[in-house]
Chains A and B, each alone.
Chain A
Amino acid sequence: MEPRERFRLILAIVEKDLRMPLWTWVLAGSVAGLGFLLSLPGAAAMASYLRYYPYEFVWFDATLRGYYGIAAFLSSVVMGITFATVHGGEVRKGTIRSVILYPIDMTDLTIAKLLATFVIAFLVATPLFMGFFGAYFVYGLYPAGAFLAIHLMAFAMAAVALATGVGASLLIANVTGRLAPSPSSMGALFLIAALLLTETAVSTIGTYLAILMSAGRFPSPETFEAIEDFARTISVVSPHHMGARVLGIGFGLTSLWSDVHVVVPVALLVIAIAYVVGKRLYLDLFIK
């Protein structure tokens, strides 16, 4: 099929999916507004305090990890729920069976669903994240540009994780002949894995385990060192680790590029193979 025709089909599906119920947008706007209002007294007090004790916002590794973690969590949750609605919801309700009666293949259908997810999730997650810190931006306490960069990077990495998970689902379907695990489940799994496999998350979880396994005694420094080493090694498979690392380089906190080259090439490879494989899949996978 011609690229123009494929684009038309993708666009038709995206347009349809973007017509979310009004209450979705009202809810997202209300929560963002509430977050802004809740942060207002703290920001005002901080601004008042800083009038007497001037302070320049400086990025530290710990602050970047914290804010990036919030952004990554928010983007992942919103993206996972949105994809489960626009894709998984259609499969569950059966309406996807009407869509596949038209000249679309699995690849283009998946692209359309991912695009719709990205647009909706962006329109929901951005006001939420920026809204929670909005009062600090209004008073000039936090750098809004840097926070927006953090949000954009976290969102992009969540998108990479979701697309890779969905692609992996198509690869499995090509082998097993069944769409199980579903793209929504695999997407959610990869979104969660991307969060849990960051250096911060792995070392935190490892520390908890070490405390549990040491039967009340405090773990040895060697144990902590081993946990840190393991966390550093495993975190190279997390897109969020890479995203935070790139931001860290951008904010002048680190110059380590070594583990940036792992996850994106692997993700792109999975997505590229899924793209080709998806074109060969028969759409009765949605009916089985």
Chain B
Amino acid sequence: MPAAAAGILREQPHVGRTLISAESPWPPWMLVQAHGLGKTYPKVRALDGVGFEIHEGEVFGLFGPNGAGKTTCLRVLSGLTRPDAGRAEVCGHDVAQFPNDLRRHLGILFDLPFPYVDMTVARYLTFFANMAGVPRAEVRGKAAWALAQLGMTHHAGSRIGKLSMGERQRVEIARVLLSPARLLLLDEPFSNVDVDARLHLRSILRDWVSRGGGILFTSHNLLESEAIVDRYAFIHLGRIVAVGTAKELKENLLAPVYALEVSDANMALAALEPIPHQALETTAPNLVRLGLLRRQDAPRVAKALVSADVDLLEMKSVGTMEDVYRKLTRPPGPGGAA
């Protein structure tokens, strides 16, 4: 993904270009480099030639239907599962050679956590802070910090079994944040969490990546993901079918459809008629929906409206990441255009 990689470099001035040399097999800003990963279970080809890269300072989203291979991919990258084929390096460690060591650099949250329900929240975090290698003297402070981050300080003495599912999920995220990790592997981190907490969590995770960490994020909520994910990878039947930013994927995969807010819809329709289009209609008194045949014609839209003395108040591309998802995962056939 050279374009996307270049984009990351532009967005991160703290990552010096001098650090990146052609000879260096492992650029310091590279957190994950996977090539041709394969994993077959007795009846399922879970991963089939999966490859992607994750850099410091980015949230990388891995999306796909149930059973597409997301969790297997996370397990392979965390050294819990042996890949049958391919190679992956995580934070500079080969997952096949150092499957257990590499987890020193990871904070992992799987979609189905199994907490110690009899422990208090404080004790739980203290235990996992010890496991994560937090120095003994700092364990209490770190646990208190993580609880405060997640707004769970008042639950420090509560038994985990007494908490609601959403509160348990926040404890799990606090557990992950305790780790002195460079990369967080988060499988459905926002499940069961209320809206306020989600907004807060998003800002916590953005803050994490702004300090140089990276996140590999999976979710089924693509609309929400647009607020946090920098680059997307779509996995389907064990294969990566697309990688890119939301803008790149929408431009490359979705038809160029725009919603225009104009001063006069009828005049706008007349002005836009000469531009080759597949759809042109008014959807409300001042709203026009325009489906172009070619994306290159988009700049002509504003010019045509200005020439016809129509004010263009807003022009936005119609199409969400859910449309991209549907496009990529729809089975090919008479009804599918994929």
Interfacial residues, chain A to chain B (CB-CB below 8 A): 1, 5, 8-9, 11-13, 15-16, 21, 93-105, 282-284, 287
Q: Which of A1, A13, A93, A102 has the most CB atoms of chain B within a 10 A radius of its CB? A: A102
Q: Which 9 A-B pairs have the closest CB atoms?
A: A94-B114, A12-B130, A102-B131, A103-B103, A101-B108, A105-B100, A103-B104, A284-B81, A97-B114
Contact residues, B40-92 vs A (CB, 8 A): 75, 78-82
Residue numbers in A under 8 Å from B108 (CB-CB):
101
A103–B101 contact, CB under 8 A? yes
Whether the pair B80, A283 counts as a contact (CB closer than 8 A) is: yes
**B131 and A282 form a contact (CB under 8 A):** no
Query: A interface, by DSSP: helix, strand, loop or mixed?
Result: helix
Are the CB atoms of B127 and A95 closer together than 8 Å?
no
- B residues with a Cβ closer than 8 A to A are 75, 78-82, 99-104, 106, 108, 110, 113-116, 118, 127-128, 130-133
Contact of B100 among A11, A16, A98, A103 (CB under 8 A): A103
CA distance A105 to B102 in the complex (A): 11
Q: Do B114 and A9 have beta carbons less than 8 Å apart? A: no
A284, B79: Cα distance in complex, Å: 9
The residue that B115 contacts in the complex, of A11, A95, A283, A284, with Cβ under 8 A, is: A95
Task: Give Cα distance in the complex from A96 to B99, angstroms.
Answer: 17
Decide: B113 and A98 in contact? CB cutoff 8 A: yes
B131–A12 CB distance below 8 A: yes
22 contacts between A and B (CB under 8 A): A1-B101, A5-B133, A13-B131, A93-B114, A95-B114, A95-B116, A97-B114, A98-B115, A98-B116, A100-B80, A101-B78, A101-B108, A102-B131, A103-B100, A103-B104, A104-B100, A105-B100, A282-B80, A282-B99, A283-B80, A284-B81, A287-B80
Q: Known interface pairs A95-B116, A284-B80. Does A101 touch B133 (Cβ–Cβ under 8 Å)?
A: no
User: Nearest chain A CB to B94's CB is how many angstroms away?
Assistant: 14
**A13 CA / B75 CA spacing, docked (Å):** 22
Residues of B within 8 A of A5 (CB): 133
Q: Which B residues touch A1, using CB under 8 A?
A: 100-101, 104
